[in-house]
Amino acid sequence: MRLDKLLAQEKISRKTMKQALLKKEILVDGQVAISLAQNVDTGLQELIFQDRKIQGYEHIYLMLHKPNGVVTASKDKDLPTVMDLLPQPLQSNQLYAIGRLDRDTTGLLLLTDNGPLGFQLLHPQYHVDKTYQVEVNGPLSFDHIQQFKDGIVFLDGTVCKPAKLKILSVSSTESRASITISEGKFHQVKKMFLSVGVKVTALKRVQFGDFTLDSELVEGQYRSLNQEELQIIKNYLTKSG
């Protein structure tokens, strides 16, 4: 949450906040706050205002193993959504997914009620890498690796940033690979493979930035982020100031 919003919840006036900021009386994890607009999460960071610890609100951060057949949305009139996989008390929080997966894509999805964090991680400026395991309906070759490295061009002329393709197995009717991209264009991975002449038949996200899909989570299961993963969030928040 923005620092000014957090302090306003504590009934601190804007004037007092501004004075405290100028006097360097606001500390986030021991560092002098630089702006009232900076994002602070009191669940992850210690916030001191004029020598007083501010407890604030602890955000929710979940890792979900998205199954096939559910949509990445809060509500859908026809189809089950990722939110339907959570128990009712969690559903009543304003949670949303960081980065959309197609209905038939499985794998790692982060859910949070920390809006600014999602915005940051999805913002092109941060180039968060995403890795997918892919199955396609034809052969892949070393030429493809080079094409992905050079930047795939979609049929409509859209140019993609360089992507890293690793081929895991090849046959004339089915190949398996992993692909790492740093963008989030709509249906990006499927369109990239279509541009080189093969169709994606299965897609699973296994990595999002520094987060790895927990192999113990079966499809449809979720868990709260652990201490190590919360530290990753903290690093992202610190990076962006």
Active-site residue set: 102
Q: Residue 131's closest CA among 99, 158, 103?
A: 99
Residue 152 interacting with ligand URA (CB under 6 A): no
Residue 198 interacting with ligand URA (CB under 6 A): no
> Contact 193/138 with Cβ under 8 angstroms?
no
Draw the binding track, 99-118, toward ligand URA (x: CB under 6 A; -: no contact): --xx--x-------------
Draw the binding track, 9-48, toward ligand URA (x: CB under 6 A; -: no contact): ----------------------------------------
Draw the binding track, 131-150, toward ligand URA (x: CB under 6 A; -: no contact): --------------------
Residue 213 interacting with ligand URA (CB under 6 A): no
Helix, strand, or coil (residue 96): strand
Residue 129 interacting with ligand URA (CB under 6 A): no
CB of 222 to ligand URA, least distance (A): 18
E strands present in the chain? 26-28, 31-32, 47-49, 52-54, 61-66, 96-98, 106-112, 130-136, 164-169, 175-181, 200-208, 211-212, 222-224
Q: Which is nearer to ligand URA, 6 or 189 (CB)?
A: 189
Residue 68, judged by CB atoms within 10 A of its CB (0-12, 13-18, 19+), counts as middle
- The residue within the footprint of ligand URA, chosen from 86, 189, 198, 237 (CB under 6 A), is 189
Residue 190 interacting with ligand URA (CB under 6 A): yes
Residue 91, judged by CB atoms within 10 A of its CB (0-12, 13-18, 19+), counts as middle
Interaction site with ligand URA (CB under 6 A): 101-102, 105, 187-190, 203
